[in-house]
Amino acid sequence: MNSLHELLVKRRSIRRYKDEPLDAEAVKLILEAGLMAPTSKNSRAWQFVAVDDKDMLQRLSQCKPAGAHPIAKAALAVVVAVDATKSEAWIEDASAAASYMQLQAADLGIGSCWIEVRDRYQVDGTPANEYVQELLGIPEEISVVCILSFGYPDEERRPCDTSKLHWENVHIGSYKAND
Ligand SMILES: Cc1cc2nc3c(=O)[nH]c(=O)nc-3n(C[C@H](O)[C@H](O)[C@H](O)COP(=O)(O)O)c2cc1C
């Protein structure tokens, strides 16, 4: 990719993947990107669980009733979790790391999708967080924020249309209501 801006324009959520494993070097670069993300007070309290076992990917895709299907056919899932007792900004810390990993993947031509786990529930009311913790042996104090699914894209998405950005959400100098 030529520039960060070009990467940002081209990155879209990819939910269909080729049945092809990712290069080990690419996986390393994606995880490295997460580990380089900024964190509040430099707490680095995140824990990333990389999963490529097909059976486990299938089970992770059932963490909530809707919206988690991309995980089932992904080449890799990275569960992004944080020790919430070690950073009061744990949601922000995890989110920054997840975004870094998605951007690194896009730069490598790898598609990804953010699957929200925090504050999502199974049909019987079980928190998706607890379901994933139990599946992967993640301790109780380490909360799962999201799962990132990765794989070589098996769908084309149009790049972001920069002429349709919500500039009305941007305020210069002071907040001005747009009504
Ligand atoms: C906090 C957050 C939660 C998301 N949760 C899901 C999800 O559970 N399932 C899903 O398919 N996509 C999910 N997405 C992806 C969004 O749907 C997607 O980023 C948005 O529609 C914009 O599309 P784009 O990424 O292609 O630009 C999530 C994204 C964010 C940032």
How much distance in Å is there from the Cα of 173 to the middle of ligand 1? 30
Atom of ligand 1 nearest to the CA of 70: 11
Evaluate if pTM is beyond 0.75.
yes
pLDDT of res. 1: 59
Q: What token pair was written down for 128?
A: 């998706």
Residue carrying the six token digits 């929200």: 116
d(CA 22, CA 112): 12
In this structure, which topology does domain 10-169 adopt according to CATH?
NADH Oxidase (3.40.109)
State in Å: Cα 172 to ligand 1 middle: 28
83, 89, 141, 154 from 44: Cα distances, Å: 9, 11, 15, 34
pLDDT (0 to 100) of residue 60: 98
Protein residue with its CA nearest to atom 28 in ligand 1 = 114
Tokens 């100098």 correspond to what residue?
Answer: 173
The residue whose CA has the least distance to atom 21 of ligand 1 is 13
Which of 91, 92, 116 to mutate to test ligand 1, by most ligand atoms within 8 A of the CB atom?
Answer: 116
At residue 95, the pLDDT reads 98
- 3-state SS record for 1-46: CCCHHHHHHHCCECCCECCCCCCHHHHHHHHHHHHCCCCHHHCCCE
Each residue's pLDDT tens digit, 94-139: 999 999 999 999 999 999 999 999 999 999 999 999 999 999 999 9
Around ligand 1, the residues with Cβ closer than 6 Å are 12-13, 15, 67, 70, 113-116
In the beta sheet, which residues pair with residue 98? none
Residue 30 CA to residue 78 CA, distance in Å, equals 10
Q: pLDDT below 70 — which residues of the chain?
A: 1, 179
